[in-house]
Amino acid sequence: MNLTPLPRSFYEGSALEIAPAMIGTLLVHRVPEGTLAARIVECEAYRGPEDLAAHSAGGRRTRRTEVMFGPPGHVYMFRLYGMHWAFNVVVSPEGCPHAILVRAVEPVLGADIMAARRGVEPGSVRLTNGPGKLCAAMGLDAATYGADLCAPKAGALPEIFLAPGAAGAKVCRSARINVDYAGAWARKPWRFYERGNRYVSVRPRD
């Protein structure tokens, strides 16, 4: 397994190019109990300011969305329905508020630690088959907001980063989940997932 951080250049393009490329890569988080790693199997592209489904729609720049307007390769975290966290990767050049929401991952390393955090059986898909679940499992919360995915920590690996995964994932696309409020933008096929992976949070949509 190659646990080397992807370079900053990986994050510099448009969200629509990077989101499919992220399927199959590894999300790595080093926590006190050990190193957690999981394959990204589902994500969604959000491209403000035009995209009305994005939190950065219309160029809305607030304390919460601020990091999306900064340089690529950083982490955008937000709270959902008052009780869950969601993990996003900021992409595209500075000033262009694109982000990619990671919706589901497949545990690769430290599944036992994740299971303990979630209070779920280690082999269960319920561990990480949803944005809120993967954050709870991998220990991602407000403390992760703004983290740099490309910054070596004390001469070693960053605390959190994306690493190349095995090639060959079959990537499918569909409309994004639960963004009905965004009108025509809600129907854009900007959700990407790995075909047949059992961790994908499939739900009927249009």
List residues near DNA by CB under 7 A.
44, 46, 53-56, 60, 62-65, 76, 78-84, 86, 88, 99, 101, 118, 120, 126, 130-133, 177-179, 181, 201, 204
Minimum distance from residue 82 beta carbon to DNA (Å) = 3
Q: By C-beta, is 119 or 168 nearer to DNA?
A: 119
Residue whose CB is less far from DNA, 167 or 184: 184
Q: Tell the smallest beta-carbon distance from residue 127 to DNA (Å).
A: 9
Cβ proximity of 27 and 164 under 8 Å: no
Q: Which two tokens stand for residue 87?
A: 């993990």
- State which residue, 35 or 178, has the beta carbon closest to DNA: 178
One-letter amino acid identity for 71? Answer: P
Name which of 79 and 187 has its Cβ closer to DNA. Answer: 79
**CA gap 129, 92 in Å, rounded:** 26
Strands 160-163, 191-194: parallel, antiparallel or unpaired by DSSP?
unpaired
**Can you tell me the distance from the alpha carbon of 1 to that of 190, in angstroms, rounded to the nearest whole number?**
29
